[in-house]
Each structure stands twice: as C-alpha cells, then as structure tokens.
Amino acid sequence: MLERGEGRIVNMLSEAAFTTPPAPAGSGGWGVAYAAAKAAFHRVTDMAHVEFFARGIWSFSIAPGLTITESMRASGMDKVLTDAGHAPAPPEIAGEVAGWLASSPDAVRYAGQMVSSRSLCKELSLVAGWPPPTAP
C-alpha cells in the first residue's frame, strides 16, 4: 500500500470493546479477553490513520452489532443472545458497509473512525429493506 501510495484497512470490531456485557460469558455476555482484544484492535485504526493517512492509506473500524452466525445457531447462542435483549442483523449489513468503505471515494469522511455498520447501511441504503419496518 505504501509503495502504491494508496490503500484501505477495514477492521471488524465489536461493541463488546466498549460496552459492559449483560451477563457472564456463555450466558448472554462475553469474556474480558474478547473485549480487551477488540478494544485494542480499535487502536490499530486510530494509529494507522495518524501514521499513514497523509500517504494515501485510509483506515476504518466497523462496529457490526450482533450478527448471528451459523456457529451461533448451531450452539444455541443465538437464542441466548436474543433472549438477553440483543437485536441481530444479517451478515450482509456489515459486509456491504465493509465493501463501501473499501471502495468508495466518499468513505474518506469516515477515515480513522469507527462506524456503526447498521447506521451507515441505513444512511446509504446499501441493503434493500434494511432496517426492517417496525411494527406499529
């Protein structure tokens, strides 16, 4: 990237880096190691922005919110999390935002920042039907 004079770094984070879990790990929450690793990883975005933005490298962090995976479904963790009050989003939400940040010239306004994939996806209408309509 430095040789080319351009590039994009898109880090996938977790709100676990910044929020207190509602319960212990395995019961609707997460462990300290996971939260600490995600919080430290966010600093990679900040530092890469400070060190490399002027050389054409943009860095971003994405906070995807709860995204239900096949592994979560298989283990029953999806039900534990939704029962604990979390609202899941489909994986396409974070995926489309990552693609947009990695390719759009307009993404420069988010360089060096953490963005909520749910909010940005809604703002840019990246996924048809997102967010789903709310019940009256």
Domains annotated for the chain, with CATH where assigned, are 7-124 (3.40.50.720)
Digit-coded pLDDT (tens) for 52-92:
999 999 999 999 988 888 888 888 888 887 888 777 888 89
Structure tokens at 35: 């939260």
Please name the helix (run of DSSP H) or strand (run of DSSP E) that holds residue 45, with its range, or none: helix 32-52
Maximal CA-CA distance, the chain: 54
Digit-coded pLDDT (tens) for 7-50:
999 999 987 888 888 888 888 788 999 999 988 888 999 999 99
> What value does the CA radius of gyration of the chain take, rounded to a whole number of Å?
16
Q: Quick one: which of 10, 13, 24, 3 has its CA closest to 100?
A: 10
Structure tokens at 6: 């351009």
Q: Quick one: which of 49, 58, 50, 45 has its CA closest to 1?
A: 58
Say what the pTM is: 0.83
Exposure on the CB side of residue 7, measured as CA atoms within 13 A: 12
